[in-house]
Chains A and B, each alone.
Chain A
Amino acid sequence: ILNVEQSPQSLHVQEGDSTNFTCSFPSSNFYALHWYRWETAKSPEALFVMTLNGDEKKKGRISATLNTKEGYSYLYIKGSQPEDSATYLCALSNSGYALNFGKGTSLLVTP
């Protein structure tokens, strides 16, 4: 079992604020780091899969960075919108497919 920690547990921001979350993981036996977005009453939806130290990925206003040597990844949301409200999960793979998920960061964006 790989210990994946996410912080903060929850976050409440105003529309237009930029925000970021942290995912920490053991740096040994790293294979891939996944980020998922999970809206209430829906299924988790993949945002990014990152494998290389120093990787940076971007999708619209959401971006992520990866540091495998120190064992962390950051997820950034620029100019948060109410539709960004969701739980953001990170997950670690050390084998190529089976994932160990963190407990997530719950984001609420109010107008």
Chain B
Amino acid sequence: DAGITQSPRHKVTETGTPVTLRCHQTENHRYMYWYRQDPGHGLRLIHYSYGVKDTDKGEVSDGYSVSRSKTEDFLLTLESATSSQTSVYFCAISEGSYEQYFGPGTRLTVT
């Protein structure tokens, strides 16, 4: 299995609080991605990174920001969590256009 970890694995938070999810890889892959998975929507891209300090928006980026200060870490921040951000969040990594390897997921509940 590709060396990808996500933390925390589960989190419950209140509306309006900031939340940061962490993705850590040991594969030295250049590209990293954050997706959310919701019933009826499948996997949707939030943000992605194509190098240290290089990031871009995906399909559902509103309300989220990201940072990548090191090759191995990609952080996803919800500045002020809302109930609509209750979801399962997956991190993925890849080398260019090759297959993506997914982390175990983080289940976030915003009450």
Interface residues of A (CB under 8 A from B): 1, 31-32, 34, 43-46, 49, 51, 89, 91, 93, 96-104
Q: In chain B between 90 and 110, which residues have their CB closer than 8 angstroms to a CB of chain A?
A: 90, 94, 96-105
Verify B44–A97 contact, CB threshold 8 A: no
Please give, as numbers and ranges, the residues of chain B lying within 8 Å of A31 by CB-CB distance: 97
Q: Bound complex: CA of A32 vs CA of B48, how far in Å?
A: 17
Instruction: Give the residue of B90, B97, B103 whose beta carbon is less than 8 angstroms from that of A49.
Output: B97
Q: Which residue of chain B is the closest to A34 with respect to CB atoms?
A: B99
Q: Bound complex: CA of A97 vs CA of B45, how far in Å?
A: 11
Q: Which of B31, B43, B50, B104 has the most CB of A within 10 A?
A: B43
Verify B98–A100 contact, CB threshold 8 A: no
Please give, as numbers and ranges, the residues of chain B lying within 8 Å of A93 by CB-CB distance: 97
Instruction: Give the residue of A32, A51, A103 whose beta carbon is less than 8 angstroms from that of B41.
Output: A103
23 residue pairs A–B, Cβ–Cβ below 8 Å = A43-B102, A43-B104, A43-B105, A44-B90, A44-B100, A46-B101, A49-B98, A49-B99, A51-B97, A89-B42, A91-B43, A96-B97, A97-B31, A97-B97, A98-B33, A98-B48, A98-B56, A98-B58, A99-B33, A102-B42, A103-B41, A103-B42, A104-B42
